[in-house]
């Protein structure tokens, strides 16, 4: 159900004449401004966005999605900058989604090194968007999938998704990519220490960036030792280590080669389909979570029922688990 | 509904003789080992935990909860270490929950500076737990509330919750605290830059730690200028700036004074009740989100219905929004 008072804010008079599916059609024709607009709607949680996303959905699933995650300062943005260059030289169009680490605080500040990426702004084959989600129920991962779909429908061959690999929601986004790249740097101490232990579980490619710094061989040796300790039977991808100096455009070709190798592996082993299925399932769950809460409040919240439940919680007359059981019973009884 | 096969893993023979509410009762008697056990169940998502949490809930709401967030390396752990000392000198018992930034990767590695905190391990009045949530549906914030309740029921006067203020879920946890402290440090460049813009929205106290470093007065002046630009009418709390050198235990008393002032403000203006109500509402939503998904899969997933929906999504025969509408209709029709 659309809240018209709210959606009107986003509806220009011109748009009202062709009320439905206008943005979606424009995006499918490759209109970058339309894509930027729909992304803004997604960020703002505008209800209009859903109808457009529905239409786009049937034209998605064609892009190859690459995740880039790592600690702050590991040089992810510079790496993406040189990756854009390399993919463009291969005549691939590129979409970039930067999950803004500052978003919960600031609603989207721009880091210094993002500006570097903007040198591609005049290239029609490159579309860069920094994603800042507002509010807490909306969900960072849901918004990210929506923007992936938009860039996919826009016709981008490659979509790069950058997150700071620190937050739970930010790491979870790596579940939606085809190739997950974890960026490390020598001598970053604690961060590498804490990341190392579990890093192999999500990384398809391990990039040691700033490979001109001291400690690179120690880090490489450590990662190699970790890989040797784990068992990689035939048919299981063994994370590949790549050394880069993104700032000097060194190692980029090896990284691209690694990405292509991993994609080849996914396709030939049938694991590509498994990943796609998994990310579709997670998207369904994300949409479900959001819609179910709405459905509850629409169906159940007669006579301020939910407010009364919260009263009971505040005064410890009821516990939240029993309260939720009652709400679900009300919902499934159709009351 | 409890999955017995699963819950048995967590049920010792001894416990089976007194099957219900054993852990909860022990926690209410101040048994730290029982609390540690229940926290482990919460982390593992063990279904047994819910019955114990239900019982505990009626004994909670007594602790004062203080959030400590900030960029990596800003010295949050050292600050907590000296705060523990100061609260103990005031004869307050203290619980500490460290949301482990590495949890999505490693399932809970221990950072070097955590070890410092462990010097309080022999003090019965201090209870420190590092929280690493596994898996992606479980939810970091839900687990954090559960652990807050457990420490509350255990009788801790003060509960300190440390998060790395980077991830969306991690920042959202600040919604559950009474006093939110944001830790900054001079010269941390990009991080401060990005955090600054929106920091005032969540911070009750702005701590400039490592105040012996270069750039402290510039940072203080900047924060002051930001505060001056905003309007704080009577009855609205203006974030307080406190300078600390946690490593040398300097400024700790000013910080504690700031915390007490903020608590006084909340209580005298009635805003304490508003905050409590808000966090109860968010807890209800968290429990709802989890339980609704379970309810869907129990009610709707006959004959692998959900798997078929995912098939339709993968093959773009259906979009996720329409799929979710169908699922919700099935649910509310009681089918």
Q: In angstroms, what separates the C-alpha of B89 from chain A's closest C-alpha?
A: 31
Query: Do the Cβ atoms of A194 and B106 come within 8 Å?
Result: yes
Question: Touching check for B292 and chain A: CB below 8 Å?
Answer: yes
Q: Residue B110 domain-assigned?
A: yes
How large is the average pLDDT for residues A168-191? 78
Q: Residue B43 domain-assigned?
A: yes
- Between CA B243 and CA B220 the distance in angstroms is 9
Chain B residues with beta carbon closer than 8 angstroms to that of A165: 104-105
Is the same domain home to B191 and B301? no
H-assigned helices in chain B: 4-8, 13-17, 22-28, 32-44, 48-57, 76-89, 103-106, 114-117, 140-153, 168-172, 190-202, 216-229, 252-269, 271-300, 305-314, 320-332
B 184-203 residues inside an 8 A Cβ radius of A:
190-191, 193-199, 201-202
**pLDDT digits over B244-277, tens only?**
999 999 999 999 999 999 999 999 999 999 999 9
Query: Do the Cβ atoms of B313 and A102 come within 8 Å?
Result: no
Q: Residue B279 domain-assigned?
A: no
Q: What is the pLDDT of residue B114?
A: 57
How large is the average pLDDT for residues A297-315? 86
Q: Please give the residue range of the domain that contains residue B16.
A: 1-59
Is the same domain home to B93 and B119? yes
**pLDDT digits over B220-248, tens only?**
988 888 888 888 888 899 999 999 999 99
Count how many domains chain B has.
Answer: 3
Chain A residues with beta carbon closer than 8 angstroms to that of B101: 166, 194
A 26-65 residues inside an 8 A Cβ radius of B:
50, 53-54, 57-58, 60-61
Is the same domain home to B34 and B129? no
Q: Residue B258 domain-assigned?
A: yes
Q: Residue B12 domain-assigned?
A: yes
Quick one: what percent of chain B has pLDDT higher than 90? 43
Question: Touching check for A288 and chain B: CB below 8 Å?
Answer: yes
Which of A164-168, A187-191, B204-208, B283-287: highest mean pLDDT? B204-208
* Residue of B136, B282, B322 with shortest CB distance to A175: B136
Average pLDDT score, chain A: 81
* Residue of B111, B168, B201 with shortest CB distance to A140: B168
What are the C-alpha distances in Å from B152 to residues A100, A153, B24, B62?
34, 50, 12, 6
Query: Do the Cβ atoms of B111 and A194 come within 8 Å?
Result: yes
Question: Touching check for B327 and chain A: CB below 8 Å?
Answer: yes
Q: Out of A84-88, A138-142, A243-247, B39-43, pick the least confident.
A: A138-142
Question: Touching check for A301 and chain B: CB below 8 Å?
Answer: no
Is the same domain home to A301 and A173? no
Chain B residues with beta carbon closer than 8 angstroms to that of A273: 314
**B231: CATH:** 3.40.50.300
Is A137's pLDDT higher than 70?
A: no
- What is the chain A residue with the closest CA to B163? A167
Is the same domain home to A258 and A275? yes
Is the same domain home to B123 and B195? yes
Q: In angstroms, what separates the C-alpha of B10 from chain A's closest C-alpha?
A: 20
Q: What is the pLDDT of residue B195?
A: 55
Q: Does ipTM surpass 0.90 in this model? A: no
- What is the chain A residue with the closest CA to B310? A281
B 210-269 residues inside an 8 A Cβ radius of A:
none
* Residue of A60, A199, A334 with shortest CB distance to B332: A334
Q: Residue B134 domain-assigned?
A: yes
Cα B157 to chain center, whole Å? 16
What are the C-alpha distances in Å from A202 to residues A216, B101, B136, B167?
21, 15, 13, 17
Q: In angstroms, what separates the C-alpha of A27 from chain B's closest C-alpha?
A: 17
Is the same domain home to A156 and A192? yes
**Which carries the bigger pLDDT value, residue B328 or residue B94?**
B94
Chain A residues with beta carbon closer than 8 angstroms to that of B273: 314
Is there a contact between B168 and B193 (Cβ–Cβ < 8 Å)?
A: no
Q: What is the pLDDT of residue B296?
A: 81
Q: Out of A305-314, B1-10, B257-266, pick the least confident.
A: B1-10
Sheet-wide strand order for A179-184: A126-131, A94-99, A158-164, A64-70, A179-184, A205-208, A240-243
Is the same domain home to B115 and B251? yes
Question: Touching check for A167 and chain B: CB below 8 Å?
Answer: yes
DSSP state, residue B258: H
Q: What is the pLDDT of residue A159?
A: 98
Question: Touching check for B140 and chain A: CB below 8 Å?
Answer: yes
Secondary structure of A267-322 in HEC code, one letter for each residue: HHHCHHHHHHHHHHHHHHHHHHHHHHHHHHHHHHCHHHHHHHHHHHHHCCCCCHHH
Tell which of B19, B42, B59 closes a domain: B59
Q: In angstroms, what separates the C-alpha of A89 from chain B's closest C-alpha?
A: 31
Q: Out of A94-108, B97-111, B133-147, pick the least confident.
A: B97-111
Tell which of B31, B59, B87 closes a domain: B59
* Residue of B112, B164, B276 with shortest CB distance to A314: B276
- What is the chain B residue with the closest CA to A295? B328
How does residue A301 score in pLDDT terms, banded at 50, 70 and 90? Answer: confident
Both tokens of residue A329?
Answer: 């019973």
Is A77's pLDDT higher than 80?
A: yes
How does residue A143 score in pLDDT terms, banded at 50, 70 and 90? Answer: confident
Q: Residue B190 domain-assigned?
A: yes
Is the same domain home to A167 and A184? yes
Is the same domain home to B8 and B136? no
Q: What is the pLDDT of residue A264?
A: 96
Query: Do the Cβ atoms of B195 and A276 come within 8 Å?
Result: no
**pLDDT digits over B21-35, tens only?**
589 999 999 999 999
* Strand A205-208 with B94-99, pairing: unpaired
How large is the average pLDDT for residues B108-129? 69
Is the same domain home to A45 and A189? no
Chain A residues with beta carbon closer than 8 angstroms to that of B280: 310, 313-314, 320
Is the same domain home to B34 and B140? no
What are the C-alpha distances in Å from B162 to residues B44, B98, B99, B271?
20, 5, 6, 23
């Amino acid at each position: 159900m659309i809240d018209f008072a709210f959606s009107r804010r986003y509806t220009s008079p011109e748009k009202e004449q062709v009320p439905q599916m206008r943005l979606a059609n424009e995006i499918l024709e490759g209109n970058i401004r339309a894509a930027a607009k729909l992304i803004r709607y997604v960020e703002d949680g505008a209800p209009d966005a859903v109808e457009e996303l529905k239409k786009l959905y049937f034209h998605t699933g064609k892009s190859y999605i690459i995740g880039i995650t790592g600690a702050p300062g590991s040089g992810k943005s510079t790496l993406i900058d040189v990756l854009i260059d390399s993919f463009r030289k291969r005549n691939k169009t590129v979409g970039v989604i930067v999950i803004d680490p500052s978003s919960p605080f600031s609603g989207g500040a721009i880091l210094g090194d993002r500006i570097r990426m903007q040198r591609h702004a005049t290239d029609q084959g490159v579309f860069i968007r920094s994603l800042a989600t507002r509010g807490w129920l909306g969900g960072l991962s849901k918004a990210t999938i929506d923007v992936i779909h938009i860039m996919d429908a826009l016709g981008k061959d490659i979509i790069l998704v950058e997150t700071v690999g620190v937050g739970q929601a930010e790491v979870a986004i790596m579940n939606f990519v085809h190739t997950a790249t974890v960026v490390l740097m020598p001598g970053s101490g604690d961060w590498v220490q804490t990341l190392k232990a579990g890093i192999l579980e999500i990384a398809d490619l391990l990039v040691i960036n700033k490979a001109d710094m001291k400690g690179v061989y120690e880090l490489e040796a450590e990662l190699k030792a970790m890989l040797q300790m784990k068992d990689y039977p035939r048919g299981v991808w063994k994370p590949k280590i790549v050394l880069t100096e993104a700032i000097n455009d060194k190692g980029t070709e090896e990284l691209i080669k690694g990405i292509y190798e991993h994609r080849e592996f996914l396709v030939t082993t049938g694991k590509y389909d498994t990943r796609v299925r998994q990310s579709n399932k997670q998207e369904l769950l994300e949409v479900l979570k959001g819609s179910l809460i709405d459905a509850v409040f629409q169906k159940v919240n007669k006579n301020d029922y939910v407010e009364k439940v919260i009263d009971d919680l505040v005064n410890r007359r009821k516990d939240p688990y029993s309260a939720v059981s009652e709400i679900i019973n009300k919902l499934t009884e159709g009351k």
